[in-house]
Amino acid sequence: MKWLNRLALRAAGTAVTLLILVAVCLMLLRAVPGGPLDTERDMPTAVRAAIEAQYGLNLPFTEQFTRYLRNAIDGRLGPSMQYPDFDVEELIAISAPITITLGLLATLLALGTAIPIAAAIAAEPLALQAARTGTLIMLAVPKFVLAPVLVLIFSLSLNWLPAGGFAWNQPLTWVLPVACLALPQFFVLLRVLIENLRAAMEKSPVIAARARGYSPMRVVTRHALPLALAQTFGFFGPILVALLTGSAVIEQVFNIPGLGRYLVQAALNRDFTLLIGCVVTVATITIIAHFLVETLQELFDPRMRARG
């Protein structure tokens, strides 16, 4: 019962957030110089007017807003302005799964590598120091530098992996993008995990385990690691958001038809319908991700439940 209430409250909050987002987007797009129909062509006035009427660009703000909402509730986001052959919901249905899949794979990869490595080196002061320094350096490398370097090594020199493109049925095309997305997250996680592990080692249950004479390995994996992981959950939210926003760069560099690319292009092209569609999708994913993370956190960490 308590759960249902919270869920309803969440949903209501999400709806309000999305409404505000749509309104802000529409307002910003009206304020920005240059519109979707401003090209180097000489477009006859009646043609221009016909297109504007199709998209409701000639309407006052409130009408534009209500019309958009009415259509959105019916699941119609309208045709894209830059790509009129497609409806926005179609483009999102094609692109969002790609971005989400790559993001999840990257998260799993980052987690799957960061946890064992952190556990292995938490007790080694030298390795620890090296990891700290390495993390700082790697975090400073932007993705648009990292990606071409990986392409240079794995595609051009070794010829192992395709240099770009994406296809669901060719998993090899996923490898480099996922690696590029995962690498910075891996270092963030590693750093956080190591610090949390160090802190966990000082906690009384872990000290008690050490006092019982368990092997260091067992102390770390059975006692310190669960504590450290629970502490680390808080970072998942920001990491998921970073994956979504970071995908814009990766998708551009690797020519992947994902959501991030549409987001950037729609803004540059003043593609109102597509931009709002993308913003709402990204916002929804972010909110859901945060909600899931919080729920997980409560499951793993009884202290959070007590507070809630």
Contacts of 237 (CB under 8 A, 6+ apart): 289, 290, 293
| Beta bridge partner(s), residue 79 | 87
SS (H, E, C) 216-273: HHHHHHHHHHHHHHHHHHHHHHHHHHHHHHHHHHHHHHHCCCCHHHHHHHHHHHCCHH
Q: Does residue 269 bind other proteins (CB under 8 A)?
A: yes
Stretch that binds other proteins, among 79-87, 125-133, 228-236, 281-289 (CB under 8 A): 79-87
Minimum Å gap between C-beta 268 and other proteins is 7
For residues 185 and 117, give the distance between their C-alpha atoms in angstroms, rounded to a whole number: 14
Question: What is the per-residue binding string for other proteins in 227-246, x denoting contact by CB under 8 A?
Answer: --------------------
Q: Which of 294, 271, 308, 284 is nearest to 77 (CA)?
A: 271
127 contacts 121 by C-beta, under 8 angstroms: yes
| CB-nearer residue toward other proteins: 95 or 185 | 95
Closer to other proteins by Cβ: residue 15 or 50: 50
Of the candidate spans 88-96, 185-193, 216-224, 283-291, the one that interacts with other proteins by CB under 8 A turns out to be 88-96
**Tokens, residue 20:** 């505000």
Q: Give the count of residues interacting with other proteins (CB under 8 A).
A: 58
Compute the C-alpha angle 10/16/17, nearest 5°: 85
Least separation in angstroms between CB 239 and other proteins: 25
Closest distance between other proteins and the C-beta of residue 158, in Å?
7
Question: Which residues inside 29-68 make contact with other proteins, applying CB under 8 A?
Answer: 32-35, 38-47, 49-51, 54
Is residue 110 within 8 A of residue 185, CB to CB? The reply is yes
Residue number, 24 or 167, with CB nearest to other proteins:
167
Residue with tokens 């590693």: 190
Between 20 and 50, CB nearer to other proteins: 50
Spell out a b/e string for 10-25, using b for 16 or more CB atoms within 10 Å of the CB, else e.
eeeeeeeebeebbbeb
Residues 182-201 that bind other proteins (CB under 8 A): none
Site string for other proteins, 89-128 (x = CB under 8 A): --x--xx---------------------------------
Query: Shortest Cβ distance from residue 152 to other proteins (Å)?
Result: 8
- The rounded distance, in Å, linking the Cα atoms of 148 and 150 is 5
Closer residue to other proteins (CB): 11 or 50: 50
Nearer to other proteins, 191 or 270 (CB): 270
* CA-to-CA dists, residue 153 to 161, 176, 245, 248, 282, angstroms: 10, 11, 25, 22, 32
Task: Map the footprint of other proteins across residues 130-189, applying CB under 8 A.
Answer: 148, 151-152, 155-156, 158-167, 170-172
Distance, CA of 145 to CA of 149 (rounded, Å): 6
Provide the binding-site residues for other proteins, judged by CB under 8 A: 32-35, 38-47, 49-51, 54, 79, 82-86, 91, 94-95, 148, 151-152, 155-156, 158-167, 170-172, 252-258, 261-262, 265, 268-270
